[in-house]
Amino acid sequence: MTHTPTSATPASAAPAPATAVADIPALVTRLRTAFAGGRTKPLDRRLEQLAALRALLTEQAEEFQRALAADLGKSAAEAYRTEIGFTLHELDHTVAHLEEWLRPKPAAVPEVFRPAEARVVRDPLGVVLIIAPWNYPLQLALAPLVGALAAGNVAVVKPSELAPATSAAMARLLPRYLDPETVTVVEGAVPETTALLEQRFDHIFYTGNGTVGRIVMAAAARHLTPVTLELGGKSPVVVEPGADLALTARRIARGKFLNAGQTCVAPDYVLAVGGTAAGLEEQLAAAVHELYGDDPAASPAYGRIVNERHFDRLTALLADGRVVTGGGHDRAERYLAPTVLADVSPDAPVMTAEIFGPVLPIVTVPDLDAAIAFINERDKPLALYAFTESEATKQRLTEETSSGALTFGLPVSHLAMPELPFGGVGESGMGRYHGEYSIDTFSHAKAVVDKPLTDRPLA
């Protein structure tokens, strides 16, 4: 059953033909048969597939970097750090702990049932569907796949059609490394995804926007299939007086303008508390200059907007405030400068929907009470960030707000800590993954009770 990575095959070979909608039912049936045969369950087999995935990511790193540059203008360094290296880190953490995570967990048995023993075992679910978006098209397809394979499942990976080069690279390369009987890539857009969603899966793991999240959940309901929805939303950054504004601005800018702002946990807007706005404006402009120089368009570290539709949507938001820095754009290049907007009204369009691009509005609020009220009046964010020196503020934000994650002083970082659960709450999603949380997501915690078939002698 060993599958040897065929790294000698040239990466530039002809692309795999796109999956025909009519072939999808048979493809899922084939995976289900492979799962039923038990080949994905033994620990050795899981580790072997994870090693093959590791080989794919290391041996084909340049191929993926080229694809990510074509799709999103990502520099090779950023592509490695946020996609390839990120997934390898997740994979290595999983491999290091998998045996321990899969060990049956003993459970206490009440006196009345003794000498029975009880334990929890983690059963693979079966056939898993992973639907990925375009913004981190490799990471968001393959990091969930790490969890799905580690938990002993077979999987369909559906990359985003809006990152076509990365989608094609995955379709071409995955079957050369991973057992094609147990992992399949289905390329395509709405028709292909709709056809997939008609099939019965044992789990659907969707990353993307909430509108499609609802379509996925409705389709899953027909088969009582559990779903994980990794969605987005507006992640606020609270900045309190007393925070070092130069350092704060540098860290906000780094998180915001990574991937040209197209990051689900990017700081969406700043809530400048009690007179911090003016200092922040100045320091954010300086931070952008420090990161991308006089002309961000010429900076290899700065990405591009994924397509014209998103470019047009984002440039329309520039009128919603006073441009502190940035604002420049070039449609032919899908370039939009890292932009900071001040004097933004809470009712402006830039404040009503997730920005998902390099535009950072600053909204002023008089005090922490107003900041907390502002956050709680809106959908629960995927992440909440704060810059404060006050432990009392940290305590209040922890206890009085709800968000997928909460970080003080370092936006976006929680994503890269595999011991932390990654996921949203309310409108920002349901379920979580990374590290052991992925094993929870992609397996069933089965209760097992075992009592000897002899009666205990009466005392």
**DSSP summary character for residue 411:** T
- For residue 203, the minimal CB distance to ligand NAD (Å) is 16
Min dist CB 300 to ligand NAD, Å, is 23
How many helices (H) and strands (E) the chain has is answered by 15, 18
Residue (56 or 170) nearer to ligand NAD, CB:
170
Q: Which two tokens stand for residue 127?
A: 């056939």
Taking CB atoms, the residue at the shortest distance from ligand NAD is: 232
Contact region for ligand NAD (CB under 6 A) — 84-92, 93-101, 202-210, 345-353?
Answer: 202-210
Q: Is 59 a catalytic residue?
A: no
Window 345-374: contact mask with ligand NAD (x via CB under 6 A)? ---------x-x------------------
Site for ligand NAD in 404-433 (CB under 6 A): 424, 429
Please count the other Cβ atoms lying within 10 Å of the Cβ belonging to residue 418.
Answer: 24
135 binds ligand NAD (CB under 6 A): yes
Residue 379 contacts ligand NAD per CB under 6 A: no
| Interface region with ligand NAD, contact rule CB under 6 A, candidates 24-32, 88-96, 190-198, 450-458 | 190-198
Alpha helices in 258-380 (DSSP H): 277-292, 308-315, 368-376
List strand residue ranges (DSSP E) for 132-219, in order: 154-158, 183-185, 203-207
Cβ burial of 327 (10 Å; 0-12, 13-18, 19+) is middle
Interaction of residue 381 with ligand NAD, rule CB under 6 A = no
Q: How far is the CB of 163 from ligand NAD (least distance, A)?
A: 7
Active site residue 264: yes
SS3 406: strand
Q: Which stretch binds ligand NAD (CB under 6 A): 52-60, 96-104, 185-193, 239-247?
A: 185-193
What is the rounded distance in angstroms from the CA atom of residue 128 to the CA atom of residue 188? 17
What is the sign of the dihedral through the CA atoms of 194, 209, 86 and 444?
A: negative
Q: Closer CB to ligand NAD, residue 155 or residue 277? A: 155
Supply angle C-alpha 410, 412, 416, rounded to 5. Answer: 105
The secondary structure element, H or E, covering residue 107 is strand 105-107
Neighbours of 265 (CB within 10 A): 25
Could you tell me which stretch among 83-91, 153-161, 271-279, 340-348 binds ligand NAD (CB under 6 A)?
A: 153-161
Q: Which is nearer to ligand NAD, 152 or 208 (CB)?
A: 208
CA quadruple 402, 403, 408, 410: dihedral, nearest 10: -170
**Contact residue for ligand NAD among 35, 64, 80, 134 (CB under 6 A):** 134
Residues noted as catalytic:
230, 264
Contact residues toward ligand NAD (CB under 6 A) are 131-135, 140, 158, 160-162, 189-190, 193-194, 207-209, 212, 215, 230-232, 264, 354, 356, 382, 424, 429
